[in-house]
Structure 1
Amino acid sequence: MRLQVGLAALGALALPIASALSPRSAGSSHATSDLGPDENGFWWIHSEDLSAAFIPYGASIAKLLIHDKYGIQRDIVAGFDNATAYELDPTHPHLGGVPGRYANRIQNSTFEIDGEIFHTDANENPTAEAPNGANTLHGGHNGWDFRSFTVVSHSNDSITFSIVDPDGEQGFPGEVISYITYTLRDLTWDFKMVAIATTKKTPIMLSSHTYWNLDGFANNETNTALNHTLYLPYSGQRVGVDNILVPTGDILANKRGSVNDFWSAPKQIGADLESPEALGNCGFNCTGYDNCWIVNRGQKGQYDWRAEGGYVARLQSAWSGIQLDVYTDQDAFQMYSCGGQDGSLPLKTSQGLFGADGEAPAFPRTIPKYGCLVMEVEEWVGGINHPEWQRESKQIFGPGGDPYVLQASYVFSINTTATTS
């Protein structure tokens, strides 16, 4: 497929929205009945069962509201109460944004295309030899989720953001134009990410870096997400990494019963954290998860990624009854168990527990270690530096060729039969 898209397309996609349209009630004082940002800078979309708020900074999701098994509305993604806080936060944990132009890590901040070596902005793991960093994470110091996108279309149930990434930005060759569309329908959050390389061959890999807690951080029994159950039915293998989480080129087996086995049966996130195998699993001296599982659906032959029952991941909380099934056209799945959280990131006013009659709440109103999960649908991380994986057609894009496309559907339901074990 040949796609010719220029800068003028940004304006062409800005669809006229009838002012008479009014969103369905979100059941929240933070929602607005007007199209456009509310008083906190949030752009809302709605379905019959879900409401979500987004911000142009990073094309980020800021709120996702759903009723749990008791009928109580929960905001199940981490974020801030005001859009301006995202840009001001010095820690920048990539809350809900779209990391780009290349998500995850680039070894030695270099890659090669057609014999030419490119150097990207190093921004992680500084050393004496590399004071800025030993590798590039999520596109560099000025990756996509550090920048404000343009809202080019907004309706009651859908919003589209766009960004133009110039040639040479963060060391990446060529201009890239990207469109990020989020849509709500019934109990489903759909998103589609399209990126077009207009001038030169370049790596492109995107994702959604959303921090999840299906209890809305309001569980009175625990303030972590270790009670959440995860199932990865097609992920018997993972990408091997070194002690700074840079892919080594090895594809490793997740043997039945091992720490990284989420394929043989559903398992709570915290089930194996006491195992010696869990230490170092997410990097040097790190206990937990920050790993990329391979999605091996080839065993099924031809498949439709949207088909019922074909989810690549299922996340459940028995406490809230909320279940999330992840469907995607991507071939890898990264899960991070929030081991880097230290209680410094505050909860939103729409989340957590509050004390009664001036008493302190059961838990601090912050996100602790293991208090959340990040789930990223994406391509095989680090594939641009491992040609032996033969992922080039899915990670390198050029003018006149097919665009980069990522599609996913996050399907929610209420599961009242889930257990805590």
Structure 2
Amino acid sequence: MRFQILTLGAFAAVAIAAAKPGLPKPDKDGRYTISAPGITAKFIPYAATLTNLFVKDKNGVERDVVLGYDNTTYYPVDPGHPVYNAIPGRYVNRIGNGTFTLDNVTYYLEKNDGDNTLHSGTNNWSYHFWNLTALTADSITFEYHDEAFAEGMPGRVDASVTYTLTENTWHISMTAESPNVRTPIMLTDHTYFNLDAFANPDTDLIWNHTFYLPYSHRNLEADSGALPTGNILEPEENSTDDFYSAPHQLGYASGNADWEDHCGSGCHGYNGQFLFDDDVPEGAVVAELSSEWTGIKAELRTNQAGLVVYTCNWSDGTAPLKSTQGLDGRPAVVNGDGCVALEAQDWVDGINHPEWDRLDKQIFGPGQKYNWESSWTFGTL
């Protein structure tokens, strides 16, 4: 996987050069901080990445509940490139067989995930520094200008993401436009959570977190490579993919026969997409993640049609924790099953499944604007 090496000085130079003149400079580590009552967030221009998210637990202790690195210069050089809390694009998740056809032209992309393309390949937006264009005490905006065929797709795309904090809530708003030709656009916020901040003395894994999808009665069937087959499933109550009938711990189905390889060959747990119902009330909480140990709960609202859930099967214990996380006496690393990535987005590989009727949500051209909105509200049980 391709990556570039930047020294601390080079990182600082790029971060400053990418900022609009007159804006405040980052701290000595290259981070920008915004805050509101009950919540503080830190960001870097590389991939428009959230590096830290602090909220209070049931005892009033401030917890950093997202994954990341203390050393901000490591984000660009991490060979694993897990897309920690970043914005990939221009088309996220998998594209089957690394190809798609648009307006009678077939495009061939880099296959960086077995036979498929993941997040548009290894030149996707999460491998690049974004421009900082606005910064206030509670809001920050980054922009990225993606040239035509940078990932093998036609047309220039101009994109922006604005992160805003209000009391106990993190808002994410993304827009994108292709001013010249029609092209695929599908984005997500790729945040990894551990609401215990890896400090729970009983476990550093994610299976004790409770998850609830009250408006998700369907999911996309996937093959051994986590690519949708085209089939739409309706899981029965208390089956492995049932998070709609009642809140369940993420590991509640670990004894089921289909737990192993459930998220692809060699993958246990989850790495697939749950679809939201067509009649979700406007502004409804479509997903809730909580931890009994910290008492922290996180509620998701979004205008997207589904949620990809990945329970970090492939984490291998080599990625370090931040100094704001962990427990003395335990290795400060992210073990397999130690986190959950929750990625609101449209239907995965919809550009290759016209029978789903998602093309108007995933193909954009001159005069059209792509709009992605989500918010996470934090509280206690």
Q: Which residue of 2 aligns with 1:204?
A: 185
Q: Which residue of 2 aligns with 1:331?
A: 305
What is the distance in 2 between the residues matched to 1:234 and 1:15? 45
Paired residue total:
363
Q: How does 1:345-356 map to 2 (within 5 A)?
A: 345-354=319-328
- Residue type of the alignment partner of 1:407: E
Indicate conservation of the 8 Å contact 1:189/1:411, yes or no: yes
- Residue type of the alignment partner of 1:116: V
What is the distance in 1 between the residues matched to 2:90 and 2:111? 14
- Residue type of the alignment partner of 1:376: E
SS at match of 1:108: helix
Give the alignment's TM-score, normalised by structure 2.
0.93
After superposition, the CA RMSD in angstroms is 1.3
User: Which of the residues 69, 82, 86 maps onto 1:93?
Assistant: 82
SS at match of 2:76: helix
Pair 1:234-2:215 in alignment: yes
Q: Which residue of 2 aligns with 1:55?
A: 44
Tell me the alpha carbon deviations over residues 263-303 of structure 1, each in whole angstroms, 9 at most, x when there is no partner. Answer: 000000111112111122100132110010000042x5xx3
Q: Which residue of 1 aligns with 2:5?
A: none
- Residue type of the alignment partner of 2:169: T
Runs of 5+ unmatched residues, structure 1: 1-12, 18-34, 126-133, 355-360, 416-421
User: Which of the residues 202, 206, 218 maps onto 2:199?
Assistant: 218
What is the distance in 1 between the residues matched to 2:158 and 2:242? 38
What is the distance in 1 between the residues matched to 2:288 and 2:146? 34
* Deviating 4+ runs (over 3 angstroms): 13-17
What is the distance in 2 between the residues matched to 1:412 and 1:297? 26
Q: CA deviation at 1:14?
A: 5.2
Indicate conservation of the 8 Å contact 1:15/1:153, yes or no: no
Indicate conservation of the 8 Å contact 2:309/2:342, yes or no: yes
Q: Which residue of 1 aligns with 2:335?
A: 368
- Residue type of the alignment partner of 1:72: V
Runs of 5+ unmatched residues, structure 2: 1-18
Q: Which residue of 2 aligns with 1:110?
A: 99
User: Which of the residues 154, 173, 180 maps onto 1:173?
Assistant: 154
SS at match of 2:126: helix
- Residue type of the alignment partner of 1:216: A
- Residue type of the alignment partner of 2:289: L
Q: How does 1:295-314 map to 2 (within 5 A)?
A: 295-298=276-279, 303-304=281-282, 306=283, 310-314=284-288
Indicate conservation of the 8 Å contact 1:42/1:82, yes or no: no
What is the distance in 2 between the residues matched to 1:95 and 1:72? 24
Indicate conservation of the 8 Å contact 1:41/1:82, yes or no: no
Q: Which residue of 1 aligns with 2:245?
A: 264
What is the distance in 1 between the residues matched to 2:236 and 2:148? 43
- Residue type of the alignment partner of 1:386: H
Q: Which residue of 2 aligns with 1:20?
A: none
Q: How does 1:10-49 map to 2 (within 5 A)?
A: 35-49=24-38
Indicate conservation of the 8 Å contact 2:20/2:131, yes or no: no
Q: Which residue of 2 aligns with 1:392?
A: 359
What is the distance in 2 between the residues matched to 1:389 and 1:97? 28
What is the distance in 2 between the residues matched to 1:97 and 1:285? 26
Indicate conservation of the 8 Å contact 1:96/1:209, yes or no: yes
SS at match of 2:145: strand
Q: Is 272-281 or 48-57 further displaced after alignment? A: 272-281
Indicate conservation of the 8 Å contact 1:36/1:154, yes or no: no
- Residue type of the alignment partner of 1:279: E
Give the alignment's TM-score, normalised by structure 1.
0.84
Q: Which residue of 2 aligns with 1:4?
A: none
Q: Which residue of 2 aligns with 1:407?
A: 373
Q: CA deviation at 1:15?
A: 8.9
Q: CA deviation at 1:49?
A: 1.0
Q: Which residue of 2 aligns with 1:319?
A: 293
- Residue type of the alignment partner of 1:394: K
Q: Which residue of 1 aligns with 2:172?
A: 191
Q: CA deviation at 1:82?
A: 2.2
